[in-house]
Amino acid sequence: MLKIDPTARISPHADVEDSVRGTIIEIGPRTIIDAFVKIKPAGGTGDLKIGADCAINSGCVLYTGNGLRIGDAVAIAANCTLAPTNHAVADPGRLIRDQGFQPSKGGIIIEDDVWLGASVVVLDGAIIRRGAVIAAGSVVMGEVPAYEIHAGAPTRRIGKRGP
């Protein structure tokens, strides 16, 4: 089910798929979804909620997976992937595509006032706390504390916002 606030702006070139399994996709007030963003219910039955005043830039892919919650005033640069799910791969005698998905690690939570640089990948179980910054090209797998700046694959702390 799609719930899109009337003040949200979604490019006609974005692809927001509705769920066939009852997953809720909610886009909040004044949020901007740029051209060539893909929002796809796949890999689980979790809901996707994007808060108010967010910007999701071109080329981003957001899966619903085990749940994805994006707070308010979050800036997501171009070509980021948010994947709160992961394929099962344990049985080498079966095709990966036939093995389904691994158990949930809790989905993805991105709190308010976060900035993800270009080409960031955020994986199932990641929590990015309020005011954090993730450098371009990074891979987030765990928890990023509030107001810290992280970079790398996997990310590590490289600084902190403020004095």
Going by their DSSP bridges, the two strands 148-151 and 115-116 should be labelled as unpaired
Task: Single out the residue of 93, 153, 90 nearest to residue 126, CA to CA.
Answer: 153
- Which pLDDT belongs to residue 123? 97
CATH code of 69's domain: 2.160.10.10
- Which pLDDT belongs to residue 127? 98
- Which pLDDT belongs to residue 45? 86
Q: Are 125 and 141 in contact (CB under 8 A)?
A: yes
Exposure string over 31-67, b if 16+ CB within 10 A, otherwise e: bbbbebbebbbebbebbbbbbbbbbbbebbbbbbbbb
- Which pLDDT belongs to residue 22? 86
- Which pLDDT belongs to residue 121? 98
Task: Single out the residue of 163, 161, 152 nearest to residue 132, CA to CA.
Answer: 161
Task: Single out the residue of 37, 36, 43, 35 nearest to residue 19, CA to CA.
Answer: 43
Per-residue pLDDT of the chain (163 residues; tens, 9 = 90+): 999 999 999 999 999 999 888 899 999 999 999 999 999 998 888 999 999 999 999 999 999 999 999 999 999 999 999 999 999 999 999 999 999 999 999 999 999 999 999 999 999 999 999 999 999 999 999 999 999 999 999 999 999 998 7
The total number of structural domains in the chain stands at 1
Residues spanned by the domain of 60: 2-160
Is the pTM here over 0.75, yes or no?
yes
- Which pLDDT belongs to residue 93? 97
